[in-house]
Amino acid sequence: MSSSPDPSRTSVPPTLVLDLDGTLVDTASDLVATLNVILDREGLPGLEFDKARGMIGNGARAML
């Protein structure tokens, strides 16, 4: 009996795709909403979407 696996029975591992820069899904509204929750918890005023949108794409450190 062969010890090699049968290629027809080999399963493909699950794949996880992360879209952190918004090229596949526009998540800007979610990021701005989350930013405003954080700002509120810190006692700071929230930002309007258009102003905060310009901060997205430069990394979390730049946005925060």
Q: pLDDT tens digits for 24-64?
A: 778 888 889 998 999 999 999 999 999 988 888 777 777 67
Question: Is residue 10 in a domain?
Answer: no
Residue 32 has a CB neighbour count (10 Å cut-off) of: 21
> Does the pLDDT at position 8 exceed 80?
no
Q: Supply 12's token pair.
A: 């493909």
Contact by Cβ (8 Å): 57, 50:
no
Q: What is the pLDDT of residue 26?
A: 82
Please choose, from the candidates 9, 14, 54, the residue with its C-alpha nearest in 3D space to the C-alpha of residue 31. Answer: 54
Q: What is the pLDDT of residue 43?
A: 97
Question: Is residue 1 in a domain?
Answer: no
Contact by Cβ (8 Å): 4, 16:
no
List, in order, residues 6 or more apart from 39 with CB less than 8 Å away.
45, 46, 47
Domain carrying residue 46: 25-64
Catalytic residues: 19
Number of folded domains that form the chain: 1
